[in-house]
Amino acid sequence: MEFELQRTYFKEGTNGALFYKGRFMGFVIELPWKENKRSISCIPEGVYQLKARYSEKFKHHLQLQNVKGRSLILLHPANDANKELQGCIAPVSSLTGIAKGLQSRIVVQKIVSQCYQAFDRKEKITLIIKS
């Protein structure tokens, strides 16, 4: 199973669109590119494996594996990248500005549900990030 994230970079943040098999899944908000600096930058473009993760704060969500120089990069709900993210990725249903969106939890639930079904089938899930 392979997701593709197409990014557009701005000084204030990063917006993107997430696709699965060419089908639009939702928009994505992230922090701006700041040379992959911890907690203040989006992560580098590349191919990352996703794994299931659970926490009290985010409930069921996803974690990106093997992000160079970074750890605990998650795909979780957030509607304002600059206030709610520390390098993670937040899917949203619509964009309201640069690095801002709406209804993140709904989109995350849709993606997580699809991924967890694939995990049950022992499928490998990857996220390709590019501009």
pTM to 2 decimal places: 0.96
CATH code at 103?
2.40.440
Domains held by the chain: number: 1
Place of tokens 């989006």: 42
CB atoms within 10 A of CB 80: 17
* Residues 24-73 pLDDT 10s: 999 999 999 999 999 999 999 999 999 999 999 999 999 999 999 999 99
Q: Write out the residue range of the structural domain in which residue 110 sits.
A: 2-130
Give the per-residue pLDDT at 48.
98
> Roughly how many angstroms between the first and final C-alpha of the chain, as a whole number?
20
